[in-house]
């Protein structure tokens, strides 16, 4: 969505509202879908994904210019399949109304916790992982019993249209729909009175989404981004750490919200780190421009932005180290990984989320300096730590705050259905995945059941000695 405020044409607003109203009517007709109904919807979503996978691989690659089939399988298809399987396996347990402890003063009454569907959930998904970031939250919302409305990014028009058609063929319009359109449609979409809205994208646009949702008091889950650090400790095994770091940086050519954005490196290990990175780059990507395993930068605008970042760094006296002999390819929009040393903090590579194959390296002498650097910036969506010293590891983890962490690797925490995934501060709010997603799209309603043998009538006026005795007992027992 563009950052410029614009008003969509009335016909777009009317069509959006009509689609929303159908979903709302579906929810009103079935506020508490049974386990069997929810399982059927999850089965249909997974069947839809498997049917559309070959066309999805082609559409996403065409939207990017080139994207390897294997990247789409790894990042957009398999994670959704696993999420659907996990939800089906655990759904009955998640749906249960459960007893929770009751304070002594309120017995013999008892407490229960109900998880109820909210209604209509809106999902705004980005272009970089268009399948996973549209359908994984949809799985959570459907499992929780909601109706779902998805707005995919206009930057991926082929995939967006494919998803729209496939959802229309697999789901009734009162169950789930996909809305395609430009940034104006996106602005009208987030202004709808959803019962929950999930947005994945930039921090700048996330702020606009939160403002639009606030007009309807719509709760939001914001999955944003930021500058996610990778801290290499003094005792890290570079032969193990560097290939994992490079994989996390160059998957999807760095167009990943949790990609390592910069490295904090002990000064004494600088030369060894550069050599290890060159070896890892040559091993994983021996070529770039003609390499079918290397993803193109998705748009010309973004490609030029990355080149401008490198040029600005060179002009400012930073040391720019290309890790491959090939120059950037304008024809394929493919850019080899570049390390940037000694960059002034005012440069764009130090201030902005890079979202591409550029990796600033900041050297430090003591762990305290690395921690201080992380904490001086906005809270990142991810943090990575490489090393063997458990005391240092726990110190770094406890003295920094990030959306999620992977130790001795990159990216892998996003694939854990048993862990929440979400940002903090400027990198987002709220979380989903697994049961955390089910809970995000549910109302957890506390229910107290009073007993016929309760002494609560002693609290009724007129107040007297019995009231005082009961109040004293409540203070003592509570």
Active site residues: 223, 257
CA dist 356 to 53, 243, 310, Å?
26, 17, 11
Distances (CA, A) of 178 to 21, 124, 153: 14, 10, 11
Cα-flanking dihedrals φ and ψ of residue 35, to 5°?
A: -55, -40
* Interacting residues of 435 by C-beta distance below 8 A, sequence separation 6+: 90, 94
Of the candidates 116, 201, 148, 199, the one whose C-alpha atom is nearest the C-alpha of residue 41 is 148
Q: Strand, helix or coil at 422?
A: coil
Calculate ∠ Cα 48-14-200, nearest 5°: 50
> Strand 220-223 and strand 428-429: pairing?
antiparallel
**For the chain, first and last CA: distance in Å?**
52
Residue pair 383/402 in contact (Cβ under 8 Å)? The answer is: yes
Say how many C-beta atoms besides its own lie within 10 A of residue 236's C-beta. 22
Structure token pair of residue 346: 């005012």
Torsion of CA 87, 88, 91, 93, to 10 degrees: -110
Task: For 444, list phi and psi in degrees, rounded to 5.
Answer: -90, 105
Three-class DSSP category at 223? strand
Instruction: Answer whether 189's CB lies under 8 Å from 151's CB.
Output: yes
Q: Where are the alpha helices (DSSP H) in 268-364?
A: 270-284, 300-315, 348-351
Residue 457: which residues within 8 A CB-CB, separation 6 or more?
Answer: none
Rounded distance between C-alpha atoms, residue 463 and residue 61, angstroms: 75
The Cα–Cα gap between 215 and 213 comes to: 5
């Amino acid at each position: 969505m563009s950052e410029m405020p614009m008003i969509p044409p009335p016909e777009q607003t009317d069509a959006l509202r009509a689609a929303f109203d159908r979903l709302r009517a579906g929810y009103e007709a079935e506020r508490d879908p049974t386990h069997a109904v929810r399982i059927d919807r999850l089965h249909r979503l997974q069947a839809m994904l498997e049917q559309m996978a070959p066309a999805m691989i082609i559409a996403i690659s065409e939207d990017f210019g080139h994207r390897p089939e294997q990247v789409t399988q790894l990042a957009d298809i398999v994670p959704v399949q696993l999420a659907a399987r996990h939800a089906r396996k655990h759904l009955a347990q998640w749906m249960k109304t459960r007893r929770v402890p009751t304070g002594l003063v309120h017995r013999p009454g008892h407490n229960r916790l109900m998880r109820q569907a909210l209604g209509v959930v809106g999902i705004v998904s980005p272009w970089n992982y268009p399948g996973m970031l549209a359908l994984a939250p949809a799985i959570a919302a459907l499992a929780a019993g909601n109706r779902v409305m998805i707005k995919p990014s206009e930057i991926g028009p082929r995939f967006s249209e494919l998803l729209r058609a496939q959802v229309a063929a697999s789901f009734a319009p009162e169950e789930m729909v996909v809305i395609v359109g430009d940034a104006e449609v996106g602005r009208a979409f987030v202004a709808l009175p959803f019962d929950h809205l999930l947005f994945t994208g930039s921090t700048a646009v996330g702020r606009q989404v939160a403002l639009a949702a606030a007009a309807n008091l719509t709760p939001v889950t914001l999955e944003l981004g930021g500058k996610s650090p990778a801290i290499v400790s003094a005792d890290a095994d570079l032969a193990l750490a560097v290939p994992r770091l490079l994989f996390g940086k160059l998957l999807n050519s760095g167009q990943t919200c949790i990609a390592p954005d910069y490295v904090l490196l002990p000064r004494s290990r600088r030369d060894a780190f550069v050599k290890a990175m060159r070896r890892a780059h040559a091993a994983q990507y021996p070529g770039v421009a003609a390499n079918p395993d290397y993803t193109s930068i998705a748009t010309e605008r973004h490609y030029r932005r990355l080149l401008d970042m490198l040029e600005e760094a060179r002009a400012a006296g930073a040391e720019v180290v290309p890790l491959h002999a090939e120059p950037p390819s304008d024809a394929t929009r493919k850019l080899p990984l570049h390390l940037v040393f000694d960059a002034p903090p005012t440069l764009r590579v130090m201030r902005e989320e890079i979202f591409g194959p550029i990796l600033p390296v900041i050297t430090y002498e003591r762990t305290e300096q690395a921690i201080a650097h992380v904490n001086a910036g906005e809270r990142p969506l991810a943090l990575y730590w490489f090393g063997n010293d458990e005391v240092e590891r726990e110190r770094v983890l406890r003295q920094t705050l990030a959306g999620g962490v992977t130790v001795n690797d990159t990216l892998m925490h996003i694939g854990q259905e048993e862990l929440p995934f979400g940002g903090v501060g400027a990198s987002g709010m709220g979380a989903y995945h697994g049961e955390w997603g089910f809970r995000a799209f549910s109302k957890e309603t506390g229910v107290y059941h009073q007993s016929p043998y309760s002494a609560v009538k002693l609290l009724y006026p007129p107040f007297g000695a019995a009231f005082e005795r009961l109040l004293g007992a409540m203070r003592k027992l509570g």
